[in-house]
Chain A
């Protein structure tokens, strides 16, 4: 993939400084030896069956060249920055001049220009500094390693920020529906299937966020809500378990988080096998020794599987943590706690903005005309364009950011 740069681009290393000769000479001075660029292969987080297999690399020039190759237009504009008093890391903001909202372009430019740091080790340092709310669990910018996703974002009037040394490109502004979007949706032939899977992901999002809490609330406070046969099953499975339902839920959720962390730390097939074995062993041993009820295992596993329906990593992590909050509220206040936590999260999501664009647009504020390519995928012979980021926002849409 990087043959072109292997020939032309090299990393600089000062031999003198490395050998220890001389006293505290700057690395940039002295004899420079050229070392070939190392090709870094990373795990692909946005795999698709169709579409390009190309991914951005850690070299910013290569990344920009891929983009200019895909969009050879004079409207493709770049703004260059050097961020970091020590590292002088190259950061490039790319957008389509005739499509992007000038207000948002100027806002992102100002926010990047205002960053004061010694070094930029990854694009995450830029991301953290330009987001609207640092406290919110929800990411307000999207990152991608895919050139086609970046191209699509630019065509919709969004802005891409490249950082030298990072293969993750920041795409802003971002709505909830961008985070729930996958490239597969665009590449699927039949729009009904694409809309079906998209709707399934929203349901999975809701299950991941709320199912354990709902289960705890109903079993702890309102068991009469269950159909009688289901209630018998739940009661029978919990007959000899020593812990209350909420303790069981927290234990199961904790085990799942531990296994998930293990899989991240050992990212090989061995890791997956170990995770699978340990998971099965723990659950079977737990159920057979009456340590834990089967109902909780089913609910916790279902919510874990559902969380993997959320395509964006940051959003997925947020939901896993939010799950602990909703379960805590349900433990304390039953269905009322569940409703309060659901409403608080909903209110927070509705109040969030990404560079002036409401995070829940086009659902809240309601813009049904935008649903064809956000909430669902409309039938279209050409690439559907999202109007959420249209260049001329109505009064107040941007000013409030």
Chain B
């Protein structure tokens, strides 16, 4: 049984929407609390550093990808760095995408299970969510890209509602003075921000061959990264201005606590369900495209062309299993994201693009 996706084509607008809608949902989920612990009231500057870093990496990926038209990063890696190292890099990318998808699924399931559906078993929410992700992967990147347009529209509504709700609560003094803790904590927060959005940057290198006008892919990618970055940075600023750095730093899921502490007039005094529904679109688009990239990377390592049902089901089982085994313990999950993940993620999202660029320049391609 083959996927319905035969010759997927993503328009440049959809490409931009895809990049921006996958950039913001996980980082506002867990990133806010972690970065507030690292950089205090300057955490939003860390967010901006993350965006700048992402822009540089995205342009490297688009530049290198442009040298290999119609090929994904997994396909051109062996051509640049040699067969065995290239395949090893492909496998590393496959695992990285899978972990990115797992992180996305786990963060959503935590939101649901800890705040809205406290009585529902963790496994039930995980299974249903992974089923929807697999359904999306089965339809392929073209459908995911179409949904990302709706996702980004929902994200804008989300931000507008947050803006409305925080308007009465904001206090500029809470983000002042700037550079309160010095530069090193901000750099550390920037590293955390890039670690969160790292897998999403590498998605560009997997999706690039599907973009309609590849020569002009840089502009929508940059616009997407900027928009996505603005969305999460705005959210960080809102968290700081409403709750302050110390309260934000105490939170595990600061974004949910912010939304729960706000109201829009007396008619919408608890609107976290609506916010979660809006956030959900971007979240699913992110989980869908990362899972798709994991499946596609795995297949391309072994030279398989079309996505088949066995790959999708196997990845779905892996994703659900990983979430259930490793994300059920929230403390373990949070400690991992806050500690080792930065150092595991950094060599992949920075190292691979820089390595490929270096080989590209050395071999004068």
Residue numbers of A with Cβ under 8 A of B are: 217-218, 221-222, 224-225, 227-228, 333-340, 342-344, 346-347, 350-351, 358, 360, 363-366, 394-397, 399-400
> Of B59-67, B140-148, B173-181, which stretch is located at the interface?
B140-148
Contact (A335, B273) CB under 8 Å given A350-B143, A351-B143, A366-B14: yes
Contact A339 B146 (CB under 8 A): no
Question: Is A333 a contact partner of B270 (Cβ separation < 8 A)?
Answer: no
A351–B4 touching, CB < 8 Å: yes
Q: Of B128, B143, B272, which contacts A333 at CB under 8 A?
A: B128
Residues of A within 8 A of B135 (CB): 344, 347
Contact of B146 among A342, A350, A394 (CB under 8 A): A350
Asked if A364 contacts B149 (CB within 8 A), the reply is yes
Chain A nearest Cβ from B260, distance in angstroms: 10
Interchain CA distance A346-B128 in the complex, whole Å: 16
**Residues of B contacting A350 in the complex (Cβ-Cβ under 8 angstroms):** 139, 143, 146-147, 150
Contact of B267 with A221 in the complex, beta carbons under 8 Å? no
CB pair B149 A336 closer than 8 Å: no
- Chain B residues with CB under 8 Å of chain A are 4-9, 11, 13-14, 17, 112, 116-117, 120, 124-125, 128-129, 132, 135-136, 139, 142-143, 145-147, 149-150, 212, 266-274, 276-277, 280-281, 284
Specify which chain A residues have a CB less than 8 angstroms from the CB of B142 in the assembled complex.
400
Task: Provide 20 A-B residue pairs closer than 8 Å at the C-beta atoms, listed in order of the A residue.
Answer: A217-B273, A218-B273, A222-B116, A227-B266, A227-B267, A228-B269, A333-B117, A334-B117, A336-B120, A338-B277, A339-B276, A339-B277, A340-B132, A342-B277, A343-B147, A343-B281, A347-B139, A350-B150, A360-B146, A394-B212
> Shortest Cβ distance from B17 into chain A, in angstroms?
7
Q: How far is the CB of A268 from chain B (nearest CB, A)?
A: 43
In the complex the two chains form, is B7's CB within 8 Å of A225's CB? no
A397 nearest CB neighbor, chain B only? B9
Partner of A340, one of B128, B212, B268: B128
Given contacts A350-B147, A360-B146, A366-B14, contact A336 B266 (CB under 8 A): no
**A396–chain B nearest beta-carbon distance, Å:** 3
Question: How far does the alpha carbon of A53 sit from the alpha carbon of B271 in the complex, in Å?
Answer: 49
Listed from nearest, the 7 A-B pairs whose CB atoms lie closest are A396-B9, A364-B146, A350-B146, A351-B143, A351-B139, A335-B273, A339-B280
B7 pairs with A396, CB closer than 8 A: yes
Q: Contact: A333 with B136, CB < 8 Å?
A: no
Task: Tell me the smallest distance from the CB of A23 to a CB of chain B, in Å.
Answer: 54
A151 smallest CB distance to B (angstroms): 31
Give the Cβ gap from A158 to chain B, nearest Cβ, in Å: 21
A351–B288 Cα distance when bound, in Å, is 14
Q: Which residues of B contact A337 (CB under 8 A)?
A: 128
Q: Are A366 and B149 in contact (CB under 8 A)?
A: yes
Given known pairs A347-B135, A365-B11, A366-B14, the reply for A333 and B276 (CB within 8 Å) is: no
- Please give the distance in Å from A327's CB to the nearest CB on chain B: 16
Contacts of B266 in A (CB 8 A): 227-228
Tell me whether chain B's interface is mostly helix, strand or loop, or mixed: helix
Q: Which one of B129, B150, B272, B274 has the greatest number of beta carbons of chain A within 10 Å? A: B150
At the interface, is chain A mostly helix, strand, loop or mixed?
helix
Which of chain B's residues have a CB closer than 8 A to the CB of A395?
Answer: 9, 212
Q: B11 to nearest A CB, angstroms?
A: 5
Closest to B140 in A: A351
Q: A400's contact among B7, B17, B212, by CB below 8 Å, is which?
A: B7
B10 (CB) vs chain A CBs: closest residue: A365
Give Cα A260–Cα B125 distance, bound, in whole angstroms: 36
Cβ contacts under 8 Å, B116 to chain A: 221-222, 334-336
Smallest Cβ-Cβ distance to A218: which chain B residue: B273
How distant is the Cα of A36 from the Cα of B112 in the complex, in angstroms?
69
A360 and chain B: residue at smallest CB distance: B146
A132 — nearest CB in chain B belongs to which residue?
Answer: B4
B269–A347 contact, CB under 8 A?
A: no
Q: Residues of A contacting B4 with CB < 8 Å? A: 351
CB atoms of B270 and A225 under 8 A apart: yes
A85 CA to B9 CA, complexed, in Å: 41
15 further A-B contacts with Cβ under 8 Å, apart from A335-B277, A400-B6, are A221-B116, A221-B117, A333-B124, A333-B128, A335-B276, A336-B117, A336-B120, A347-B147, A350-B143, A351-B146, A363-B149, A363-B150, A364-B150, A365-B11, A400-B7
Q: How far is the CA of A341 from the CA of B252 in the complex (A)?
A: 28
B269 touches A227 (CB 8 A): yes
| Separation of A228 and B139 alpha carbons in the complex (Å) | 43
Q: Is the CB of B6 within 8 A of A347?
A: no
User: Is the Cβ of B6 less than 8 Å from the Cβ of A227?
Assistant: no
Judge whether A365 and B132 touch: CB under 8 Å. no
Distance in Å: Cβ of A201 to nearest Cβ of chain B? 18
Q: Report the bound CA distance from A225 to B145 in whole Å.
A: 32
Known: A221-B116, A395-B9. A340 touches B129 (CB 8 A): yes
State whether B120 touches A366 (Cβ < 8 A): no
Q: Please, which residues of chain A bring their CB within 8 A of the CB of B7?
A: 396, 399-400
- Given the complex, which residues of A lie within 8 Å of B284, measured CB to CB? 343
Residues of A within 8 A of B8 (CB): 396, 400
Which residue of the partner chain B has the closest CB to A358?
B146
Question: Are B270's CB and A347's CB within 8 A?
Answer: no
Residues of A near B13 (CB, < 8 A) are 365-366
| A221 / chain B contacts, CB cutoff of 8 Å | 116-117
**What residue in chain A is nearest B269 (Cβ atoms)?**
A227
Q: Is the CB of B14 within 8 A of A365?
A: yes
Chain A residues with Cβ below 8 Å from B150 are: 346, 350, 363-364
- Do A365 and B117 contact each other (CB < 8 Å), given the known contacts A340-B132, A396-B8? no
Contacts of B149 in A (CB 8 A): 363-366
Residues of B within 8 A of A339 (CB): 276-277, 280
* Residues in chain B near residue A347, CB distance under 8 A: 132, 135-136, 139, 143, 147
In the complex, the chain A residue whose C-beta lies closest to that of B279 is: A339
Chain A residues with CB under 8 A of B274:
225
Q: Which residue of A lies closest to B111 (CB)?
A: A336
Chain A residue at minimal CB-CB distance from B136:
A347
Which of A217, A342, A344 is packed against the most chain B CB atoms within 10 Å? A344
Complex interface: chain B residues within 8 A of A217 (CB): 273
Q: Which residue of A lies closest to B147 (CB)?
A: A350
Contacting residues, chain B, for A218 (C-beta < 8 A): 273
Cβ of B147: which chain A residues have Cβ within 8 Å of it? 343, 346-347, 350, 364
Residues of chain B within 8 A (CB-CB) of A335 are: 116-117, 273, 276-277
A397 to B146 CA separation, bound complex (whole angstroms): 13
Instruction: Let me know if A336 and B143 touch, CB within 8 A.
Output: no
C-alpha spacing A149/B270, complex, angstroms: 46
A235 shortest CB reach to chain B, Å? 16
Measured CB to CB, the nearest residue on chain B to A361 is B146
- Which of A222, A343, A350, A365 is packed against the most chain B CB atoms within 10 Å? A343
Nearest chain-A residue to B116 (Cβ)? A335
What separation, in Å, do the CA atoms of A221 and B142 have in the docked complex? 35
CA distance A263 to B280 in the complex (A): 40
When chains A and B are docked, how far (Å) is the Cα of A400 from the Cα of B306? 14
CA A227 – CA B269 in complex, angstroms? Answer: 6
